[in-house]
Amino acid sequence: MSDSTTDKIVIRDLLLRGIIGINDWEREKKQDILINLTIFADLSRSGETDDVADTLNYRSVTKAVIALVEESSFHLVEALGTEIARIAVVDFGAPRVVVRVEKPGALRFADSVGIEIERSRSHFE
């Protein structure tokens, strides 16, 4: 039997566009936002049954994240990351998630700047 703390679903380099930032010019038009998720979940049953009903559906999680980013207007990547974590943990029942949110090109001499947070159910109770 698999340990749910070690099984993970990894969504890499989900590139979306949304309003994010504290400067006036950042509030006017959508910017690129790069998202990476590591969703911890017990995948043992779905590995045995080969049935999507027995797993955490990463397509559904991704659709919810896309809707959040495209429809929202956050000032801080920290707030966006927290809401993405809430989707995985509260809406989809993941026991734990690591979320990385980056703004490519936000700093002059860096490819990207961002945050990485880890959240579990206890953070949202």
- pLDDT category of residue 97 using cuts at 50, 70 and 90: very high
> How many other CB atoms sit within 10 Å of the CB of residue 99?
28
**Which residue shows structure tokens 């809401």?**
83
Mean pLDDT of 31-40: 97
Decide: helix, strand or coil at residue 110: coil
**pLDDT at site 5:** 63
Q: Please state the φ and ψ torsions of residue 58, each to the nearest 5 degrees.
A: -70, -25
- Nearest CA-CA partner of 116 in 37, 16, 19, 13: 37
Asked whether residue 61 carries a pLDDT value surpassing 90, the answer given is yes
**Domains in the chain, start-ordered, CATH in brackets?**
8-124 (3.30.1130.10)
Spatial neighbors of 3 by CB under 8 A, at least 6 apart, are 42
Confidence check: pLDDT of 12 > 90: yes
